[in-house]
Chains A and B, each alone.
Chain A
């Protein structure tokens, strides 16, 4: 950036700076979307940040700590907004924070306004609004490297004088200028240059400042614009754009499932070892069972999905940073509007294939409230990772050849998506009737993604997932464990006899004795579960599930899976093998060949198909409900979601069961 010319106009800066004793330590980071605000926040605060919600809203605030000489300052990253005076939740929150009505623990004492140097003209209008707040301000002139490449040359000193507050050029992605910015943050200035908005047009003011301070804007970016035009032409093409989107999403999911497999196995191994260790430390009894089965089992059930969720957020962050996701939302908007959903809803629906809970959180990026609530309601229809063990078991019963199994898997995913879009259409024409605002979206510049930003986002989101969901799922699993473990009953006579027989031959035939003990354990475990509270509830509820082909044993499995879907397979494993190693092929075979009380096969093609459809469509993840209630704004939405999805799942399962029986597939 060049020095001011000798005949610089005498637009004297009138600014007041805080006294030396009043160096601010609490900053609000403000700026348009796509100005690199989050990247700059990460540069300033690193991982020393936490996420919270602004009071009374679902809008997130990131609050970080920054080192300032001999003290620690605080930076609150406000949501990116286009203007402070818009009637939108994000703009209202920014106004309230700047006015001191929302403090998040400490009032913001100074502003850091992040602006895009390559788009200065538009950002100056926003700067004017920020300066009118009369807070000590520093301007972070970000993306100066991009501006330089586009042929934009600015006189920073003149800009500093014109705005009346420090202007610091930075490149947040590389960290250039951040040290100078931190130094300037200790000496922000209150500008009184911004004229009263009723006397001067903001656009004219911005144009004047721009004309005064930009030396050359030759916009040597024709080549860049041509490349962007070509890329946009492909990515937003009505047909090619969708093909590219499908290819990118396929690659994304393949990467997630392929790369997450090993870490997931390691996590399962770790918690298995931990449970064994507990077994050696704690004596058998209620405390041992609570810790090993309730607590460790509950945490393991959550933690095992962490690799998938972290990979999902990491890859989505990279994609978002490239500028592609905005184009994807744009090209999908027209297709999704048919079902009453905006283009931005595709990202939560995509994320739901890992887990519905973070997907529901990500519906916050949908601007319209009706659109957002509709997305929250339908997201759980998308087949999540927890459903996979159930799909593996039931598809394996229905089909033996890999081709048909693959088609069945794809069919499950499609059924969930069809139900999601159909429900969105129904909801937007009934409960959430009203026009959906047409899309206006900024398409950010294409650029290479920042690994650092993606990693920080992943760490933060992963921790948030563990903290929020782990507590809810852990609580539910402990309750479920208690219901399935109590009341305790003595072992049945058959198991007692087997143990006695094993004891008699333990010296002469140790292997046979061990097999007898194992069988006795399986019989005892099944007997205990059948007489537990869950078992009694299962027998009581069995008549309601009989029309869709389930007996009391499968009903117990369905009821326990309301805590977490994958619990279904482990519940059946407990019933028919005495153990929870459901990935053991022998255990799966035992489930496939198990019998009902009347001797008929437990799982026939008809009952397996109806159960499969039920799991595709049912809301069987109770931890999702409080998240729905929070994001949709009322528990009524969560209960509606539970009731509606259960009803749809039941009816669909009934149709499938009756259809299979009518077609002659009811037997084994």
Chain B
């Protein structure tokens, strides 16, 4: 499909230990958002649907998708909850619910965390 023609080069996980609570992080590398289960909580690590090569620390990325997602509430180190993950993904960031196509969710790297809320 036209919507799926997005680059899918392997991502290099961006580590930023300053704001990560080791007790919350589950073992293993970051995974694409689309692989989480319903109800799972996670912390966003990196994302760039438009990235061509190399890692993308989201803070510095100015591509349209990153800007829009950041403006809608998904930013680096933000915590989100996966409400529903089927053909598309519904996530909740604070009080905001966002519907995200899989083509974008596939390129958002997250670290699953235990729900400490």
Contact = CB atoms under 8 A, between A and B. Distances in A.
Nearest to A84: B71
B116 interface: no
Interface in B3-17: 3, 5-6
Interface in B32-81: 49, 59, 64-65, 67-73, 75
A228 to B, nearest CB: 7
B41 to A, nearest CB: 12
B82 to A, nearest CB: 10
B88 A439 contact: yes
Nearest to B81: A225
B104 A438 contact: yes
Given A122-B94, A436-B2, A238 B86 contact: yes
Interface residues of B, number: 37
A118 B73 CA distance: 13
B25 interface: no
Nearest to B63: A87
Given A119-B94, A119-B95, A86 B101 contact: no
Interface string A371-385: 000000000000000
B99 A330 contact: yes
B2 A443 contact: no
B71 A126 contact: yes
Interface residues of A, number: 46
B90 interface: yes
Contacts of B49: 438
Interface in A209-253: 219, 221, 225, 228-229, 232-233, 236-238
Given A435-B3, A440-B99, A440-B100, A121 B90 contact: no
Given A82-B72, A438-B103, A233 B84 contact: yes
A443 B90 CA distance: 9
Nearest to A121: B94
Contacts of A444: 97
Contact of A238 (B65, B87, B94): B87
A229 B2 contact: no
Contacts of A119: 73, 94-96
A236 B84 contact: yes
B112 to A, nearest CB: 18
A229 B94 contact: no
A201 interface: yes
Nearest to B101: A438
A665 to B, nearest CB: 41
B3 A438 contact: yes
B47 to A, nearest CB: 12
Contacts of B100: 438-440
Contacts of A225: 92
A232 B72 contact: no
Given A334-B87, A440-B68, 10 more contacts: A121-B94, A122-B72, A126-B71, A221-B95, A225-B92, A435-B6, A439-B99, A439-B101, A440-B100, A445-B95
Interface of A: 82-83, 85-87, 116, 118-119, 121-122, 125-126, 150, 201, 203, 219, 221, 225, 228-229, 232-233, 236-238, 326-327, 330, 333-334, 337-338, 340, 428, 434-445
5 contacts: A83-B71, A125-B71, A203-B75, A333-B101, A443-B90
